[in-house]
Amino acid sequence: MKLIVNADDYGMTKGVNLGIIEAHKNGIVTSTTLMITMPEVEHGLLLAKDYPNLGIGLHLNCTLNKPLTDCKSLIKENGDFYKPRENPNQDLFDEEEIYQEFLAQYELFVKVVGRKPTHLDSHLYAHQVYPKAKAAAIRLANEKGVAIREFQVDGYRKAVFYGDFKYKDGDTMGQLMEKLVGEDTPILHSDVVELMCHPAYIDNSLFTLSTYTIGRIKELDILTSEDVKNFIKKNNIELINFNGTRLTYVQD
């Protein structure tokens, strides 16, 4: 069994960056996805230089703050992207505009990071809940030769996506732990799984950018716990990042 543990939202805030690095250094996180349009990208990349085994992918964004391109169908009057909870009319979304925005984010990632991302996913599940974003993201993944969360693309083995490891109001730490190591976890029933997570240290900036706050520090505690490390060892689970899903070598 192989497990990718991907921490979303790298670059969002310094607290998020520090939490993800801690979860990699002293926990089971193997991979992260960088929000190339967020305020703390430079801080995150500086931290990551000391951890070359941390896979860094691209967290495609069409649901938070402002775009890089002129994508009028995706934004509100103030120039910010619609958030999914605002229930935008998806019929009005222009798929080509989504693709061009994703492409611009990809190109900025390559320019800033100096290499292509290990994989693609998206903020607030955009490419999983918006059909036009899904088509644009898969198009980009195939054109650039990179893996993508949940979907099959050429040259990569598909990982089963597991997105239920998330704190809900009222959960105990034991209940949150059970979502990761319980008998029903797909980690124990699939060959290759991607576990999505959101570890972070909480800072003031996080409260302005995300409604998911307290849960992040709880996730961090579990992802670095001895119980989880023992679970990985006991079940002979190999921790990998998305480079480990390559079927054939993809030239960088």
The pLDDT tens digits for 174-208 are 999 999 999 889 999 999 999 999 999 999 999 99
Kindly tell me the burial class for residue 111, based on how many C-beta atoms sit within 10 Å of its own C-beta (0-12, 13-18, 19 or more): exposed
- CATH number for the domain harbouring residue 32: 3.20.20.370
pLDDT at 89: 94
Helix (H, G, I), strand (E, B) or coil at 212: coil
Query: In this structure, is residue 14 part of a structural domain?
Result: yes
Residues 29-52: what's their mean pLDDT?
97
CA nearest 62: which of 30, 86, 41, 43?
86
Distances (CA, A) of 57 to 53, 86, 109: 13, 27, 9
pLDDT at 183: 87
- pTM for the model: 0.95
Overall number of domains in the chain: 1
CA–CA distance, 216 with 224 (Å, rounded to integer): 12
Query: In this structure, is residue 252 part of a structural domain?
Result: no
Tens of pLDDT along 88-133? 999 999 999 999 999 999 999 999 999 999 999 999 999 999 999 9
Q: Residue 66: give the domain boundaries.
A: 2-245
CB contact at 8 A, 124 and 64: yes
CA–CA distance, 200 with 13 (Å, rounded to integer): 9
Averaged pLDDT score across all residues of the chain: 95
Tens of pLDDT along 8-21? 999 999 999 999 99
Query: In this structure, is residue 40 part of a structural domain?
Result: yes
Query: In this structure, is residue 152 part of a structural domain?
Result: yes
Query: In this structure, is residue 146 part of a structural domain?
Result: yes
CA nearest 238: which of 198, 199, 187, 200?
187
Residues 72-78: what's their mean pLDDT?
96
Please report how the helices 173-181 and 214-223 are oriented relative to each other, as an axis angle in degrees rounded to 10: 60
pLDDT at 252: 40
pLDDT at 251: 41
CB contact at 8 A, 60 and 126: yes
Scored b (16 or more CB within 10 A) or e, 146-170 reads bbbbbbebeebebbebbeebbbeee
Rg (CA), the chain: 17
CA nearest 120: which of 104, 138, 107, 108?
138
